[in-house]
Amino acid sequence: MSTGKGNPILRASNITKTFGNNTILHGVSVELAKGEIKILIGSSGGGKSTLLQCINCLVVPDSGEIEVDGMVIDITKKKDLYRLRQQVGMIFQDFNLFDHLTAIDNITIALRKVKKISREQATQRARQELEQVGLGDKQHLYPAQLSGGQKQRVAIARALAMDPKILLLDEPTSALDPTLVGEVISVIKRLAAKGMTMIMATHQMSLISTLADEILFMENGRIVEQGTPSVLLAKGNKSRTRGFCDSLNDLVGEEG
Amino acid sequence: MELSPFYQELFTSLNRGVVMSVALIVPSAIGGVIIGILAGVIRTFGGRFVRAVGDGYAAVFRGTPLVVQLFVIYFGLPNLGIYLSPYVAAVTGFMLCSGAYQSEYVRGALLSIKSGQYLGAQALGFTTFQTIFWIVVPQAVRRAIHGCGNEIIYLIKYSSLAFIVTCIELTGEGKTIATEYFRFTEVFMVIGVYYLLLVTIAMMILKRIEKTLYVPGFGRS
């Protein structure tokens, strides 16, 4: 995996966001090279979700610049935002599958309406993606008939069908029953192995330690620490990240 | 068994009336639902101006008696040079009135759709219009369907007000016979049975629609 080689595929610089009197992001900057995986950690309220949602402008930043694959996004232009979002896939904590559509139609509707692909081609593509996440046999089930892990896998398939250049994952396993976390993690790991560029907020130690090219520790709307896991998590390192991850490990220890 | 002249005449008239009633109800119900969805969407998502127009429409048509609305449409509009036949006037009035009520059911359903559904669509690159049209409205329709069905059943019964604008339907025909023979109780009881049948048929159709639209997670079929 290349770190910092060539031009970054995503550059978000100096992103600020304030809701009322509450400043959530104080000029945060993130860069991603192609194939790179960065992981956001930190306690809730630190601004991880807001940062991710600012990157694809689901929350429009107050200021800052976003550039995807060399194209600067004009965040005041709706057209630019729609184009940005087509190139940046997003996975949510609570899946956000369309409740009135079957697994396969959740995928085809975006292909047909946004990418204007024919129904036939869209169906074929959707079927492929569902098989990739191991849900080839669940195509015609509705979200209400799927387990949490299955829903998240459909959501991943849906995002991937759009051929995104980058994937944003906002705590993809946090809403899942512990027994279902594994199936989602293995799908994400497979994506990483295929070289998907990702930025992910997660508290899942197995993802942090095995996937991260870089860890970004966020607190009060700032990135307060960043570095590779091998450095930040090294024994004897007094980093905040290490302390945070230790407490995550302790939790797992207690539960297990 | 031969029916008495009274009943022969009664049933001939009521059958003629029921045909007119159905001719009033069907387009009014369909039009009402369409207007209701449009007005509901506008009142929920529209910009400030169109929303004010939508709210104004709903306030006027829910706030005034249908009788008054029909009077204005049939007897008032000619002053503006708009002449409607009794049938068209009645259907117009029913549609507008029913649409105003329907818009409230639709609006409630639209507001009940979770924000995650919008986020999910927006994140995929849907435009605001596409999100509303393809994701939010289809879900809201399923949530609103019971309320909308209720309004249609109510419409079946207030369609009898068509006689106000001289459009003679089921109730109007019956009333003529009742006055002629002076047998109000029998006539109106038979009319009641006719409406009961109409409503029963409507309920069966609505059930069928509910079944067709059924999706797991949106109530039972």
CA angle, A165 then A208 then A246, to 5°: 155
Does A130 map to a domain? no
Cα first-last separation, chain A: 33
From the list B120, B127, B142, the residue facing A98 with the nearest CB is B120
For chains A and B, count residue pairs whose Cβ atoms are closer than 8 Å. 75
Tens digits of residue pLDDT in A16-44? 999 999 999 999 999 999 999 999 998 88
pLDDT at position B220 is 58
For residue A86, tell me if it sits in a domain. yes
Q: What is the pLDDT of residue A3?
A: 45
Residues of chain A with pLDDT > 90, as a percent, come to: 75
Domain harbouring A56, CATH code: 3.40.50.300
Range of A224's domain?
Answer: 10-94+168-255
Q: Do the chains contact at B134 and A78, CB–CB below 8 Å?
A: no
pLDDT-derived band at B219, boundaries 50, 70, 90: low
The answer to whether B139 contacts A85, with C-beta atoms less than 8 Å apart, is no
Record: contact A143-B122, CB cut-off 8 A: no
Residue partners of B127: CB distance under 8 A and separation at least 6: A78, A82
Alpha-carbon gap, residue B37 to B103, rounded angstroms: 6
- pLDDT score of A181 more than 80: yes
* Contact (CB<8Å) A99/B121: no
Q: What is the 3-state secondary structure (H, E, C) of A22-75?
A: EEEEEEEEEEECCCCEEEEECCCCCCHHHHHHHHCCCCCCCEEEEEECCEECCC
pLDDT at position A254 over 60? no
Pick from A84-98, A218-232, B70-84, B207-221: least confident: B207-221
Is A158 part of any domain?
Answer: no
Does residue A135 belong to any structural domain of this protein? Answer: no
Count of Cβ atoms closer than 10 Å to residue B56 Cβ = 11
Choose, out of A96, A117, A158, the residue to mutate when testing the contact with B (most B CBs < 10 Å). A96
Distances (CA, A) of A144 to A139, A152, B216: 13, 13, 6
User: Which of B110, B114, B124 to probe the A interface (max A CBs under 10 A)?
Assistant: B124
Domain assignment present for A157: no
Residues of A in contact with B126 (CB under 8 A): 82, 110, 113-114
pLDDT at B221: 45
Tell me which chain A residues have a C-beta less than 8 angstroms from the C-beta of B139: 98-100
Q: Angle at CA B203, nearest 5°, toward B154 and B147?
A: 55
For residue A148, tell me if it sits in a domain. Answer: no
List the single residue in A86, A100, A113 with the smallest CB-CB distance to B130: A113
User: What's at B58, amino acid-wise?
Assistant: A
The answer to whether B215 contacts A100, with C-beta atoms less than 8 Å apart, is yes
Q: Closest residue of A to B130, CA-based? A: A113
Instruction: Tell me what the mean pLDDT of segment A124-130 comes to.
Output: 96
pLDDT tens track for B5-50: 889 999 999 999 999 999 999 999 999 999 999 999 999 999 999 9
Cα-flanking dihedrals φ and ψ of residue A135, to 5°?
-120, 30
Report d(CA A31, CA B128) in Å as an integer. 29
Domain count, chain A: 1
| Among A58, A94, A145, beta carbon nearest to B123 | A58
> What pLDDT does B155 receive?
95
Q: Quote the CA–CA distance of B1 and A247 in Å, as a whole number.
A: 91
Nearest by CB to B120, from A56, A92, A142: name it. Answer: A92
Residues from chain B contacting residue A114 (CB–CB below 8 Å): 124-126, 130
Cross-strand pairs, A18: A23
Closest CA to A91 of A55, A61, A119: A55
Q: Domain for residue A113, yes or no?
A: no
Q: What does the pLDDT average to over B192-221? A: 89
For residue A96, the chain B residues in CB contact (below 8 A) are 116-117, 119-120, 123
Nearest residue to B170 via CA among B16, B1, B10, B4: B16
Q: Taking CB atoms and an 8 Å limit, are A99 and B139 in contact across chains?
A: yes
Share of chain B above pLDDT 70, in %: 98
Nearest CA in chain B to A80: B125
Query: Tell me: the pLDDT tens digits for B91-134?
Result: 999 999 999 999 999 999 999 999 999 999 999 999 999 999 99
**Residues with Cβ within 8 Å of residue B191, at least 6 apart in sequence:** B14, B170, B171, B174
Q: Residue B206: which of B33, B5, B3, B49 has the closest Cα?
A: B33
User: Looking at residues A199-205, what average pLDDT do you find?
Assistant: 92
Q: Hey, what amino acid is at A119?
A: R
Q: Would you say residue A4 has pLDDT above 50?
A: no
DSSP H or E stretch at residue A13: strand A10-19
* pLDDT tier at B2, thresholds 50, 70, 90: confident
Q: Is residue A222 part of a domain?
A: yes
> What sections of A103-239 are H helices per DSSP?
103-113, 119-132, 148-161, 178-193, 205-211, 229-232
Closest to A211 (Cα-Cα) out of A235, A232, A228: A228
Beta bridge partners of A198: A37, A167
Spell out which chain A residues touch chain B, with contact meaning CB-CB distance below 8 angstroms. 56, 58, 78, 82-83, 85-86, 89-90, 92, 94-100, 109-110, 113-114, 142-145, 155, 158-159, 162
CB-CB under 8 Å, B116 with A82? no
User: What contacts A45, CB < 8 A, 6 or more positions away?
Assistant: none
Under DSSP, the state recorded for B4 is P
At position A109, the amino acid (one-letter code) is I
Whether residue A159 and residue B135 make contact (CB cut-off 8 A), yes or no, is no
Q: Estimate the share of chain B in helix, then strand, then coil, as percent rounded to the nearest 5.
A: 85, 0, 15
Distance from CA of B217 to the nearest CA of A (A): 5
Whole-angstrom CA distances from B122 to A32, B15, B134 are: 22, 54, 12
Which amino acid, one-letter code, is at B193? V
* Residues of chain B contacting residue A155, judged by C-beta atoms under 8 Å apart: 120
Asked if residues B17 and B32 have their Cβ atoms less than 8 Å apart, the reply is no
- Cβ–Cβ below 8 Å for B142 and A100: yes
List, in order of start, the domains of chain B with CATH numbers: 5-213 (1.10.3720.10)
Contacts B127 to A, Cβ<8 Å: 78, 82
Put simply, the answer to whether A78 touches B127 (Cβ < 8 Å) is yes
- Tokens for A185? 């993690």
Token code pair at residue B205: 């159709």
Instruction: Using CB atoms, pick whichever of A83, A110, A143 lies closest to residue B124.
Output: A110
**Closest alpha carbon to A32 in A68, A60, A63:** A68
Residue A41: phi and psi, rounded to 5, are -130, 175
Mean pLDDT rounded to a whole number for chain A:
91
Q: Do B123 and A56 touch (CB under 8 A)?
A: yes
Q: Which of B125, B126, B216 comes nearest A144 by C-beta?
A: B216
Percent of chain B with pLDDT over 90: 92
For residues B150-170, average pLDDT: 93
pLDDT of residue A245: 84
Give the tens place of pLDDT for each residue, B190-202.
999 999 999 999 9
